Amino acid sequence: MTDRYYVVREDILPEAIVKTMQVKGMLQRGEAETVHEAVERVGLSRSAFYKYKDGIYALNQLGRERIVTVSMDLDHRSGVLSKVLGLVADSDGNVLTIHQSIPLQGLANVVISVDTSGMPASLGEMLDSIRSQDGVRKVSVIGQG
């Protein structure tokens, strides 16, 4: 599935999405120390915040986002992570960090931080190529900064 993006005026967005952006802003500016504190202050449930937080970004943030954190569930087989890292390199992404959990029930969670500033292709294209790789079960962007 290819990610599709839209530019939408704030006044037509559902309240939960607008409040999610308010919570993210409070956390970034240090106006709240925890998600719990921020969601209480804006009147949003934590579950709604976690549902939307990885899918909504301010337009002015997108142009300067250079580091993307990607979480993946990979089959615990030789070469799967290596092929994923090769796809990142083929997209001219630069892997900054890698964290892999101990495999459970044949799956390992891997979180990588990628510098995308040198990528001529879109982030979506890189993610699609990772998703289509044999042994990759789930891919999601969990942060940009």
Prediction pTM value: 0.56
pLDDT digits (tens, 9 = 90+) for 116-128: 887 777 788 889 9
- Cα of 105 vs its chain's centroid, Å: 24
d(C-alpha 63, C-alpha 38), whole Å:
26
pLDDT tens-digit series, residues 86-118? 999 999 899 999 999 999 999 999 999 998 887
- Three-state SS string over 85-136 comes to HHHHHHCCCEEEEEEECCCECCEEEEEEEEECCCCCCCHHHHHHHHHCCCCE
Structure tokens at 53: 């937080």
Measured CA to CA, the distance from residue 127 to residue 45 in angstroms comes to 29
